[in-house]
Amino acid sequence: MTHSRSADLVVPRIVVTVSLVICVTGSMIGVGLFGGTPIASAAGGALAPDATPLAPASTAFSVWTVIYLGLAGFTVLQWFPAPAPAAEARRRRLRLPVAGTMVLNAAWILVVQAGRLWLSVLVIAALLALLGRVFMILVRSRPNGPVERVLVDGVLGVYLGWVCVATAANVAAALAASGFHGAGIGPDWWAVAVLAVVGAIGVVLAVRSGGRIAVAAAIAWGLVWIAVARWDGAPQSVPAAVAAAVAGAAVLGAVWWAGAGRGAGRGSVAS
């Protein structure tokens, strides 16, 4: 019985750790190491900052540094005893879904390296769905202390928020590479429509989470850098730039509104 209980604790931690190694290895390939092609140059440049009206400026991708460092912190945290049974139960529910997101992250990079853009859309959709599952676990329980608030709720919130924006950009890239020309609707207005959807999703997540800032901050970050890229970069699109800025402001406004409803001081980094 004791051996079985110990295995139940150790095996999922090993799975999370191995998944982190896979994730980091994939990220190294994605920046051009180990013989890989940088993502902006892979798949014929379909995901470059100037490829579509929904592509963020290259600076936006620095958020991955925060995400990868945070996932490393999350992984290390798993090897320390939880301070309470409820905290351990929460970690147990999170381990395998988070491990799955890290493997999918690496899979997405490899699929893009192979030039399979529509397959990459399926992979990132699965990643987004799994992060949605993680989000539901987070909002149904509370972090145990400031370390968990940052390394669990904060990191995973940023991860989800960024992938929301990245999914829209990925779909736009796949459509553009496939020769889609808007079915009679100009690319500016397609971009405005998609940005409105991303903003609406951000507002829903902000309200559903009770004003947690991590998810909204990452979505707003991505939207702001779309606005920057479209304002003075190619392809230039003032409508898309304005729509991205307005959507980002709406998401942050929803966080403030939802957080105010819970009382001042409770919507810190993640919860």
Q: Please check whether residue 170 is in contact with residue 121, taking contact to mean a CB–CB distance below 8 angstroms.
A: yes
210-234 pLDDT, tens digit per residue, is: 998 999 999 999 999 999 999 988 8
What is the DSSP secondary structure assignment for residue 141, as one 8-state letter?
S
More confident residue, 37 or 225: 225
Q: Tell me the Ramachandran region of residue 259: left when phi exceeds 0, alpha when psi lies from -120 to 50, beta otherwise.
A: alpha
Q: What is the rounded average pLDDT for all residues in the chain? A: 92
State residue 263's pLDDT score: 55
Residue 35's pLDDT is what?
82
| pLDDT grade for 32, boundaries at 50, 70 and 90 | confident
pLDDT score for 151: 95
- Looking at residue 183, its pLDDT comes to 80
Q: How far apart are CA 148 and CA 214, in angstroms?
A: 13
Q: Examine the pLDDT at 113 and tell me if it is beyond 60.
A: yes
Looking at the predicted structure, is the pLDDT value of residue 8 above 70?
no
In terms of average pLDDT, the best of 21-35, 80-94, 123-137, 172-186 is 123-137
H helix intervals, 39-154? 63-78, 85-113, 117-139, 146-148
Which of these ranges, 9-13, 134-138, 252-256, has the smallest mean pLDDT? 9-13
